[in-house]
């Protein structure tokens, strides 16, 4: 299974370093081969650690250049970062990235051989329009993405479940993951209000290959408890 932590705009470099040290010790002591990933803020990308994959939450589709405020390939390479989150709902809906921007970014990092966690998910109004509308929406978010790319992982994160404490029912997660797995033959993560209390039930579902955790990953005890819940 894959268990990934997205810190978003939380944690300092020092805090990330302490967190990763503790997490590395925890992972080393386990006799399981789950993949554990952490996506810290860009200021903490140098904190690489053994046994835990550190990835970037975002980067610009360029090696370097005049893109004020962005980081590119050159900055990621310095810290040997080879994993990136693309298409997260906050980048789409808060920071205004279009599907076209996201496809471009995905193709750029694919050409560089990055492991890509590609995020999709519907807002509440689509959810309320029924399951056909929901699947059509998710399929549109997959348009232009090379679903055969061997370093691709897809994360299904319903926008209305992110940071709200709400989650779809396990029946709904199962239905959506089953439908997605027909299109995406790659690992499929679920994200959106995953916490120690629901992680085991969610990761027990067929076609859920892991979880992408926001809020609950900020507390190391909660995150390690989620890692303990893998099937």
Measured from the CB atom, the residue of 34 and 62 that comes closer to ligand 13P is: 34
Reported for 110-114, long-range contacts at CB under 8 A and 24+ positions apart, including other chains, are: 110/146, 110/149, 110/151, 110/152, 112/73, 113/82, 113/151, 114/82, 114/83, 114/84, 114/151
The binding track of 140-169 with respect to ligand 13P, each residue x by CB under 6 A or -, is -----------------x----xx------
Query: Which CB sits closer to ligand 13P, 48 or 163?
Result: 163
Q: Does 214 bind ligand 13P (CB under 6 A)?
A: yes
Q: How far apart, in whole angstroms, are the C-alpha atoms of residue 200 and residue 196?
A: 8
Q: Which is nearer to ligand 13P, 110 or 195 (CB)?
A: 195
Catalytic residue list = 88, 157
Footprint on residues 55-114 left by ligand 13P (CB under 6 A): 88
Query: From the list 87, 191, 196, 210, which residue makes contact with ligand 13P (rule: CB under 6 A)?
Result: 191
CB 167 within 8 Å of CB 195: no
From residue 1 to residue 40, the character string flagging contacts with ligand 13P as x (rule: CB under 6 A) and all else as - is -----x----------------------------------
Q: Is 196 in the site for ligand 13P (CB under 6 A)?
A: no
Return the bridge partners of 125, or none. none
Binding mask 113-132 for ligand 13P (x = CB under 6 A): --------------------
- Residue (55 or 215) nearer to ligand 13P, CB: 215
**Residue 41 found at the interface with ligand 13P (CB under 6 A):** no
Contact residues for ligand 13P, defined by CB under 6 A: 6, 88, 157, 162-163, 191-194, 212-216
């Amino acid at each position: 299974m894959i268990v990934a932590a997205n810190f978003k705009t939380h944690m300092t470099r020092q805090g990330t370093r302490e967190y990763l040290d503790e997490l590395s010790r925890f992972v080393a002591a386990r006799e399981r081969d789950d993949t554990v990933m952490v996506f810290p803020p860009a200021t903490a990308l140098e904190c690489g650690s053994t046994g835990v994959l550190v990835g970037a939450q975002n980067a610009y589709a360029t090696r370097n250049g005049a893109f004020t405020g962005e980081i590119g390939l050159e900055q990621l390479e310095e810290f040997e970062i080879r994993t990136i989150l693309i298409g997260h709902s906050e980048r789409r809906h808060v920071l205004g990235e279009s599907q076209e921007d996201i496809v471009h970014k995905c193709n750029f990092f694919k050409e560089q051989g990055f492991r890509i966690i590609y995020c999709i998910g519907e807002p509440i109004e689509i959810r309320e329009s029924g399951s056909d509308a929901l699947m059509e929406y998710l399929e549109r978010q997959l348009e232009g993405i090379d679903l055969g790319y061997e370093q691709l992982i897809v994360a299904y994160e319903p926008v209305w479940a992110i940071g709200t404490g709400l989650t779809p029912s396990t029946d709904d997660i199962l239905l959506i993951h089953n439908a997605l797995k027909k299109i995406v033959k790659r690992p499929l993560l679920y994200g959106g209000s995953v916490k120690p209390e629901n992680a085991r039930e969610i990761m027990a579902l067929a076609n859920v290959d892991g979880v992408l955790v926001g809020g609950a990953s900020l507390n190391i005890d909660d995150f390690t408890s989620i890692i303990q819940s893998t099937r």
